[in-house]
Amino acid sequence: MPTVSMTVNGKQVSADVAPNTLLVTFIRENLRLTGTHVGCDTSQCGACVVHVNGNSAKSCTILALQAEGAEITTIEGLANGGELHPMQKSFQENHGLQCGFCTTGMIMTAVDMVNKQDNLDDASIRKGLEGNICRCTGYQNIVKSVKAVAQEMES
Amino acid sequence: MTTETGIGASVRRKEDKRFIIGKGRYLDDINKQGQTYGYFVRSPHAHAKINGFDATEALNAPGVVAVLTGPDMEADGIGPIICGWGITSKDGSPHKAPAHPALAIGHVRYVGHQVALVVAETLQEAKNAAELVEIDYEELPHVVEVGDALAEGAPQIHADVPGNLSFDWELGDRAAAEQAISTAHHVTRMDLRNNRVIPNAMEPRAALSEYNMGTDEITLYTTSQNPHVHRLVLSAFNGVAPEHKLRVIAPDVGGGFGSKIFIYSEETVCAWATKKINRPIKWIAERSEAFLSDAHGRDHETHAEMAFDANGKILGFKVSTKANVGCYLSTFASAVPTYLYGTLLNGQYTMPAIYVEVQAGFTNTAPVDAYRGAGRPEATYVVERMIEIGAREMGIDPGEIRKRNFIAPDAYPYETPVIMTYDSGNYALAMDKAQAAIDYQGFEARKAESTQRGKLRGIGYSSFIEACGIAPSAAVGSLGAGVGLWESAQVRFNPTGSVTVFTGSHSHGQGHETTFAQIISDQLGVPIDQVEISHGDTGKVPFGMGTYGSRSLAVGGSAIVKAIDKIVEKSKKIAAHTLEASVEDIEHAHGVFSVAGTDKKMTMAEIAFSAYVPHNYPADVEPGMDETAFYDPLNFTFPAGTHIAEVEIDPETGTTEILDWVAVDDFGNVINPMIVEGQVHGGLAQGIGQALLENCVYDKESGQLLTGSYMDYCMPRADDLPTFRVETINTPCTTNPLGVKGCGEAGAISAPAALMNAITNALGKEIDMPATPEKVWRAAQGL
């Protein structure tokens, strides 16, 4: 089995993996970082979104071997020590989650969105969330959560 | 003070922390030492006879531990999957529920039907070996639509169910309804289709079973909305293990919407097989397995006739429905198109005569059972489409016709002709507020502006009613329920004054850990961060019935109040002893016990400590502060409201844009307005999904599920939905101590009718759900 090495949440990790191992499987099974979820088998739901070299990506669409040398951030690496990321706080403050299963992927997508886009309004946030499915919230409070952080960053 | 965390405050959710940092504990996050992986071999055919089964090659494949089948389970005496609600047909005969072995024996009856479990050291090895299982299928004729299944000459799905008819049920007064229809000024007649949908909780169903040979105990972790019901059925009916040797744990569960109520084949097989192989077994459904084998929702074909007098007053209502129940009766499948449907056909109106008949037909499709709303969305769709069409045909404003028919606010308790007694409501108030919020008077001007731009604008109402907190147990028992529908709560003070509440209900997104803690904080003055809510583990929690039908607060919350009453009663005795007063003189408010007319008092924390360190203590009082209550409701609750949707259609593309949505709901008293609003949003998204996007399609020719993934089944996404405007009115429920009614299903119940009324108003013609761009475009183009 080939060896793969990458940096996950600032920590160097290395493991022997079967070539067909998905990045999400590597994160969940090898590293036991279970905050990244699997909600579908067609790369549609976005529960598995992580950051790969600073870009949000569905970790079920990437082989672990393709992430060789990459910097990966998962939901577990988003908080700065004990201090939650503003997006995490905003989801709690604005009731942007219910069952919580899609939430980690939503937050990772949302962080990438506010990092890269200015002047986010409801419509552009909704468009930006197009790759993430939530069955609980009707999205309204997720949009509110993202907008609050976007506005905070701009002010 | 408890006001910031008490009843009525939008307390931020206590459970959120673990979810936002990735520390939720869903089923696939749990692993056991030495666990194996299960993978189900499923039928590729809609209907076939199994002439041969050969697992030799699979058993020799790398890593394979076992290949288990239906006959293996039968040999071990494991009973079939059951339906827990008995329905009696018109002719007095009981419903037909053919035996449903957890793994197929002799026949398969739908695509995805579980045939065998392959257990291996890794998931990959289990999947590879599943490919090697050889099954000799002899295909048989199949039928997927209920109308076809109930027609003369249809393929027979079960040898012991002639005509594929499970039951032919009725409710109400046929003669009176027909008399009203035959003599009325106007009769509206319509055929309505309630499309089939697939629940799609984001966490797929899963099971992890573990046998302990030392204690002879089986522990089953599973995605359940009601772990005690799982334990009871798996023990009493399937015979997996005696109840005291079976522990069922539903940890963090990622959404349910009804689909995780039921006792399915997969967890039954895993619970049995772990003892057989003496290894833990993990099975996690892939999304495609969820599409194939989760219980689906809705799927009704209905003909309805509503009779009106010249003023638009309803005189009679007659409804004939064919309900698709899939290939077997799932756990509560028989209750959904009957007592959760027919009993709600009275809506918010005075209707002198109602008659409903429902034929439930088997088809070669996945079982159909409760999905958010369960029967009540189907009823609301029929009532609210019929009254709307009646208004259009008679030239009466759709808001006005509803107002003319509303039950008056002073008419409660109100008995309907379909065995419900509504306790409270104020339907005109909700309507007035909704009309004001959406500026109903300004609609014609807005429509004219749309018309100028070549767009079609429409507005639609839904004045829905639902029955929640199904109860009382004796009443539902008389209607066929195999269980009681009460709830349990245990309120346990720790010696240092913190509290653990054990509830028999289960949270899979609803926010019980916050709402229930608010009740404790409010009534017993305990800081909310000192209250822990525990649920989902039969090894910890008193027997409870779980969460569905918007029952958790109305029934489970009321059980907590009853346990609090016992805590207060006991605390008064301890305070009286300590403060040297008589019990009658002790007054209680928010956790402070004081002697009337004096400044002598004790706090709840002091009393709890005294109860565990009973040095100076009343002789006739037991030590400890830990009370359990079981609450059986007196009646259903009846949340109701009016929703108004406004849409604009582009006739060139057929796309529908939802411009505005106003929801005014009466949920009685509200504990946490933020959570309630979130529940309404989620319900609306599911209702709008059904009306606009979602549709489960089985191919008639092949019997294959054509909508078996997120590539083919259109889930609502963020950019498909509008920003909802949600208001509540609060007419307290008169039959439970909190005065609450339940809010979890309202959106899903109300939305389809409101949206289809708006779309058909814009188009000026009828179409069925879902209103896809193609259907809307054809209608707009007159095709």
Check CB contact under 8 Å for A99 and B508.
yes
Lookup: tokens for B722: 């509008």
Min distance B632 CA to chain A CA atoms (Å) = 27
User: Whole-angstrom Cα distance, residue B655 to residue B664?
Assistant: 27
Check CB contact under 8 Å for A143 and B718.
yes
Supply the pLDDT for residue A82: 87
Check CB contact under 8 Å for B717 and A129.
yes
Q: Could you tell me which chain B residue has the CA closest to the CA of A127?
A: B719
Tens of pLDDT, residue by residue over B666-709, are 999 999 999 999 999 999 999 999 999 999 999 999 999 999 99
Check CB contact under 8 Å for A101 and B254.
yes
User: Whole-angstrom Cα distance, residue B267 to residue A10?
Assistant: 39
pLDDT tens, position by position, for chain A (155 residues)?
A: 999 999 999 999 999 999 999 999 999 999 999 999 999 999 999 999 999 999 999 999 999 999 999 999 999 999 998 899 999 999 999 999 999 999 999 999 999 999 999 999 999 999 999 999 999 999 999 999 999 999 999 88
Supply the pLDDT for residue A155: 84
Three-class SS of residue B731?
coil
Amino acid, single-letter form, for residue B275: K
User: Whole-angstrom Cα distance, residue B246 to residue B228?
Assistant: 10
A44, A91, A95, A137, best to mutate vs chain B, most B CBs in 10 Å: A95
Supply the pLDDT for residue B471: 82
Average pLDDT over residues B6-18: 97
A42 touches B at CB < 8 Å: yes
Q: Could you tell me which chain A residue has the CA closest to the CA of B687?
A: A138
Across chain B, mean pLDDT equals 97
Q: Looking at the partner chain, which of A38, A42, A97 has a beta carbon nearest the beta carbon of B711?
A: A42
Check CB contact under 8 Å for A76 and B255.
no
pLDDT at B345 over 60: yes
HSE-up (13 A, CA, CB side) for residue B446: 15
A38, A45, A89, A98, best to mutate vs chain B, most B CBs in 10 Å: A98
ipTM of the assembly? Answer: 0.98
A99, A102, A106, A133, best to mutate vs chain B, most B CBs in 10 Å: A99
Q: Residue A130 phi/psi, 5° resolution?
A: -55, -30
Bridge-based pairing state of the strands B421-422 and B414-415: antiparallel
What percentage of chain B carries pLDDT values higher than 90?
A: 99
Three-class SS of residue B109?
coil
Check CB contact under 8 Å for B719 and A97.
no
Which residue, chain included where needed, has tokens 């183009």?
A: B781
Check CB contact under 8 Å for A97 and B203.
no
0.90 exceeded by the pTM?
yes
Average pLDDT over residues B424-443: 98
Q: Residue B36 phi/psi, 5° resolution?
A: -105, 175
Check CB contact under 8 Å for B718 and A102.
no
User: Whole-angstrom Cα distance, residue B735 to residue B413?
Assistant: 11
Supply the pLDDT for residue B2: 43
pLDDT at B762 over 90: yes
Torsion of CA B619, B622, B624, B626, to 10 degrees: -140
Touching B: A residues 76-95, CB under 8 Å: 76, 78-79, 84, 88, 91-93, 95
Q: Looking at the partner chain, which of A75, A93, A99 has a beta carbon nearest the beta carbon of B202?
A: A99
A40, A124, A141, A142, best to mutate vs chain B, most B CBs in 10 Å: A40
HSE-up (13 A, CA, CB side) for residue B425: 31
Q: Could you tell me which chain B residue has the CA closest to the CA of A106?
A: B20
Check CB contact under 8 Å for A139 and B511.
no
Label residue B29 by pLDDT band (50, 70, 90).
Answer: very high
pLDDT at B33 over 90: yes
Q: Could you tell me which chain A residue has the CA closest to the CA of B509?
A: A99
Q: Could you tell me which chain A residue has the CA closest to the CA of B200?
A: A135
pLDDT at B421 over 60: yes
Check CB contact under 8 Å for B29 and A34.
yes
pLDDT at B627 over 60: yes
Residue-by-residue DSSP string for A29-90: IIS--TTS----SSS-S-TTEEEETTEEEETTSSBGGGGTT-EEE-GGGTSBTTBPPHHHHH
pLDDT at B3 over 80: no
Burial of B599 (0-12, 13-18, 19+ CB in 10 A): exposed
User: Whole-angstrom Cα distance, residue B572 to residue B734?
Assistant: 27
Check CB contact under 8 Å for B710 and A97.
no
Q: Which helix (H) or strand (E) holds B273?
A: helix B265-277
Label residue B1 by pLDDT band (50, 70, 90).
Answer: very low
Q: Could you tell me if B677 and B737 are in contact, meaning their C-beta atoms sit under 8 angstroms apart?
A: no
pLDDT at B295 over 60: yes
pLDDT at B530 over 50: yes
Tens of pLDDT, residue by residue over B706-727, are 999 999 999 999 999 999 999 9
Min distance A138 CA to chain B CA atoms (Å) = 4
Lookup: tokens for B289: 């397995």
User: Whole-angstrom Cα distance, residue B65 to residue B351?
Assistant: 62
Supply the pLDDT for residue A81: 86
If one counts every other C-beta atom within 10 angstroms of the C-beta of residue B712, the result is: 14
